[in-house]
């Protein structure tokens, strides 16, 4: 909001698109963020249509190892499968933080298992860069309703210390919540 209030509409759109990518399509949050992105686009004099969602650019494992990122491999519990349409959230927080705003997040709909994603500066949130951190905590959640948060998770797992930019994949084996 601060960027919008300062008339830095491009920066506001950039962050809102990232947040919108985390919301389930059609949810109130997804709709609201689409509206504020549209308003900021109008302020810039740009054509208004369906706001683009931030692509999962730089979300390849090879880029994460050279881009100050973290490669994450996520495994389901043996014999388990999430329901069709489940969303997976993989996020980084400051080392030791179990809650609060993540540094970087990736949301994936109905992935193939095991899942491999990369958290990079391109997936960073709220003006932070993942590459500014030496170590982080990594959490993965399989959401039953498309919303992030442990309260919505069918499965989740966490690694308390992951080295940013090491190129060594972090492995998370999920547990049933």
Kindly report, residue by residue over 80-95, the tens digit of the pLDDT.
998 888 899 999 999 9
Domain ranges of the chain: 2-43, 61-176
- Compute the average pLDDT of residues 51-58: 37
Confidence of residue 77 (pLDDT cuts 50, 70, 90): very high
CATH code of 61-176, in short, is: 2.60.40.2990
Looking at residue 169, its pLDDT comes to: 92
- Compute the average pLDDT of residues 122-129: 81
Number of H helices, E strands in the chain: 4, 8
Helix, coil or strand: residue 32: helix
Looking at residue 62, its pLDDT comes to: 46
User: 49-69 burial, b if ≥16 CB within 10 A, otherwise e?
Assistant: eebebbebeebbbebbbebbb
Angle between helices 28-43 and 9-22 (to 10 degrees): 160
Confidence of residue 47 (pLDDT cuts 50, 70, 90): low
Look at the chain and count its residues: 177
């Amino acid at each position: 909001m601060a960027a919008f209030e300062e008339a830095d509409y491009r920066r506001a759109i950039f962050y809102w698109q990232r947040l919108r990518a985390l919301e389930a399509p059609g949810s109130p949050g997804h709709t609201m963020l689409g509206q504020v992105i549209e308003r900021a686009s109008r302020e810039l004099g740009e054509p208004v249509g369906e706001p683009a969602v931030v692509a999962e650019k730089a979300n390849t494992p090879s880029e994460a190892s050279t881009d100050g990122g973290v490669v994450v491999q996520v495994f389901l519990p043996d014999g388990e499968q999430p329901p069709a349409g489940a969303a997976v959230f993989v996020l980084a927080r400051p080392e030791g933080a179990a809650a609060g705003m993540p540094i970087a997040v990736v949301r994936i709909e109905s992935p193939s298992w095991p899942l491999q994603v990369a958290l990079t500066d391109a997936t960073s949130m709220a003006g932070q860069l993942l590459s500014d951190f030496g170590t982080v905590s990594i959490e993965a959640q399989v959401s039953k309703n498309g919303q992030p948060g442990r309260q919505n998770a069918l499965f989740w797992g966490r690694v308390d210390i992951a080295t940013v930019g090491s190129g060594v994949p972090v492995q998370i084996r999920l547990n049933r919540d």
